[in-house]
Amino acid sequence: MNRLITEALRNQFDSTFHMARILVKVCPEKIWAASYNEVPFWQQVFHYVYYIDFWMREKIDDSEWRTMIFDDEYTTDLYADSYEGLFISQDKMLEYLDAIQIKTTCLFDNLNDEKLSASVFYNSPLHTYADVIIGQIRHIMYNIGYLNGILRELGLPESDWYAYNEPEGS
């Protein structure tokens, strides 16, 4: 089976995922806990990380798809009425990302170029594996850009651009 396109998408996704992980690591704790435009920084991260977990799976069925389960009070709604009493630490978010990375690695290992055009959800041509992967790359990068903007405005380190095939530490 041909995997040229699959591996290209894996490399792009993994580079994006790497940037998402670095963002969590470089964010100072006081910024992580603070709100910007009424949304806690950590909640913005949880929003896109949760959707990686949701979308990057092999199929929709009755089985549990979440790699980590948080209290149902945690919402991906960025404008929910109250986040009072809710908080996900950076360590817990990194743990969540590590668990998701195992899941996404397995997903890519089981894909090939032919399967990329198969419908993964709802038998819809809008939900092929290729569409889901590209959509997640776009969603993650949008949020990283937004959060990097907050860090940049505060004169803080951010999650720098990372492209695949770079030496570690780049």
Instruction: Read off the pLDDT of residues 39-61 as tens digits, 9 standing for 90 and up.
Output: 999 999 999 999 999 999 987 77
Residue indicated by tokens 């949304």: 39
**Tokens, residue 146:** 């937004």
- Calpha distance 35→40 (Å, rounded): 4
pTM for this entry: 0.91
- For residue 170, the model assigns a pLDDT of 44
Beta bridge partners of 36: 39
Could you tell me the pLDDT band of residue 3, with boundaries at 50, 70 and 90? very high
Is the pLDDT confidence value at 165 over 80? no
